[in-house]
Amino acid sequence: MSCLLGLGLNAKCQVYDKFGQTNWVCQYSMKWKFDTLNNIVRDDLIILQIGKDISKNYSYYTFQSDSLRKTSNGKEMWSMLFKKAIKEANGGIPTNGFPYKRSKTFVYKNYPEGKITVTDGLSLQDYIYEDELNAQDWEVLDSTKIIMDNPCQLASCTFRGRQWMAWFTPEIPISDGPWKFGGLPGLIMEVHDIGKQYNFVIIGIEKKEEPIVFSQTYVGSKKFEKTKRLEFLKAKKAYLMNMGGYIEMETGIDLESNSSQKMMRYDLIERDY
């Protein structure tokens, strides 16, 4: 199945455009502290498709935005909604009123076998890199609680510069969870770092058969640019520290002209860069 990595790099490779069927579909509410200086919290709806051999984790809202843009008049509709949202934001960065991308991270677990493939984006360029599968070294603890009628047990680990607490249920013997989490003897129902800057809580789960598709690049990108995880994290931090500049470059709209606070402090979910 090595051809899949070429899906974004080589348009002729379409054999693995669909590479499995789901057995479960989970929905997680994700909340994270986007700006630690101004205490801005953002939210997302994360979809986890779990198949026999492969799982896919992605943002529902990002998928919704991409779907709109790919319709016949999607670009015009998105542009109109974006301009309207900018006016309503009174010079700030718009976050409501149009289907905007939230998390651009797509995580494909056990692809290739024993690894993770991650695609992500900065501005109009998408990137692809490989990561470790089940890289968390969990310690199962004695604490228990009920989540969505399922008895759960607590586990903890230190992963990529943060201490994480996860509630998993042996009642659903699937070694998976949101984002890059997995490796426990049961589905992860809730996981957060010790400071609760990043928090995932399951809000829906169902048995459902649907195709797991390797998503193509963002509509503005011609291809995925291959990179390494640490290189991408460094570039992402630089992008976040000058997001207004990127938006101005792409749209011609200066979002910072009326802002006295141009520098914001960000704390990425992975701190080991």
* Tens of pLDDT, residue by residue, the chain (273 residues): 333 333 333 333 332 345 778 899 999 999 999 888 888 899 999 999 999 999 999 999 876 755 545 545 545 554 555 565 555 555 555 555 545 567 889 999 999 999 999 999 988 789 999 999 999 999 999 999 999 999 999 999 999 999 999 999 999 999 999 999 999 999 999 999 999 999 999 999 999 988 898 988 765 567 899 999 999 999 998 888 877 655 555 455 555 544 444 445 789 999 998
Q: Are 141 and 154 in contact (CB under 8 A)?
A: yes
> Cβ of 211: how many Cβ atoms within 10 Å?
12
Q: Classify residue 155: in a domain, yes or no.
A: no
Q: Are 88 and 57 in contact (CB under 8 A)?
A: no
DSSP 186: S
Q: Classify residue 261: in a domain, yes or no.
A: no
Q: Classify residue 237: in a domain, yes or no.
A: yes
Q: Classify residue 149: in a domain, yes or no.
A: no
Q: Are 17 and 214 in contact (CB under 8 A)?
A: yes
> Cβ of 159: how many Cβ atoms within 10 Å?
20
Q: Classify residue 239: in a domain, yes or no.
A: yes
Q: Classify residue 271: in a domain, yes or no.
A: no
The values of phi and psi at residue 18, to 5°, are -130, 115
- What is the rounded CA–CA span in Å between residue 150 and residue 107? 25
- What is the rounded CA–CA span in Å between residue 171 and residue 198? 25
Domain count, the chain: 1
Domain span at residue 54?
A: 2-134+196-251
- What is the rounded CA–CA span in Å between residue 53 and residue 88? 45
Percent helix, strand, coil in the chain, to 5, is 20, 40, 40
Q: Are 27 and 45 in contact (CB under 8 A)?
A: yes
Q: Classify residue 42: in a domain, yes or no.
A: yes
Q: Classify residue 204: in a domain, yes or no.
A: yes
Pairing of strands 115-122, 187-193: unpaired
- What is the rounded CA–CA span in Å between residue 168 and residue 140? 10
